[in-house]
């Protein structure tokens, strides 16, 4: 099963996704509950966000796996449950980190399927459930520099690819989950 959870910054989507993952794990007690952390701790703000998310997960039996790029490296057992937090960071890492596979900007729009969506779908086919958190960043309506516009284009494409493949899509608005696809 694949579930996509989207929402604005600090909307409650992470807490909601964690709740979903824990509920799925209860259905699959033989598996492991994984938290796939994609954020690279660049600065103090990132480090604080990571600390806050760790506090949120404390005592919830998550096994954390750092995976800043190349989700295809993840392996799973049939009963495992994965929470991937978050697609927005993963995409940025694939575009800008040394190990990223979307650094060639001219080909990046054609590679999103292979680099982002396909590994998530493959993982979902191997385990009990994958819950992916992504960000809703498309309501700004202002002109962006070319590099930022490309990132937004690729995030939108990634979100659409995963939403099409997902069994459910939930948008979290001010802490309230709204089902967009069931």
Which DSSP helix (H) or strand (E) runs through 35? strand 33-37
Q: Give the gyration radius of the chain's Cα atoms.
A: 16
Residue bearing the bigger pLDDT, 46 or 38: 38
Region 2-181: CATH code: 3.40.50.300
Among 13-22, 52-61, 171-180, whose mean pLDDT is lowest? 52-61
Tokens of 78: 């049939």
The runs of H, that is alpha helices, within 39-129 are 44-57, 87-96, 108-112, 118-126
Question: 162 with 117: CB under 8 angstroms?
Answer: yes
Parse the chain into domains and list their residue ranges.
2-181
pLDDT > 70? residue 141:
no
């Amino acid at each position: 099963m694949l579930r996509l959870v989207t929402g604005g910054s600090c909307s409650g989507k992470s807490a909601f996704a964690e709740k979903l993952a824990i509920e799925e794990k209860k259905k699959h007690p033989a598996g492991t509950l994984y938290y796939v952390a994609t954020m690279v701790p660049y600065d103090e703000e990132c480090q604080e966000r990571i600390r806050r998310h760790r506090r949120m997960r404390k005592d919830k039996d998550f096994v954390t796996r750092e995976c800043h790029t190349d989700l295809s490296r993840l392996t799973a057992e049939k009963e495992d449950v994965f929470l991937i937090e978050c697609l927005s960071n993963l995409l940025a890492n694939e575009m800008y980190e040394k190990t990223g596979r979307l650094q060639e900007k001219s080909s990046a729009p054609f590679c999103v399927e292979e680099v982002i969506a396909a590994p998530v779908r493959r993982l979902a086919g191997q385990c009990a459930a994958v819950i992916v958190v992504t960000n809703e960043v498309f309501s700004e309506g202002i002109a962006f520099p070319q590099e930022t516009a490309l990132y937004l284009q690729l995030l939108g494409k990634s979100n659409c690819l995963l939403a099409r493949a997902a069994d459910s899509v939930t948008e979290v608005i001010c802490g309230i989950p709204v089902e967009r696809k069931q």
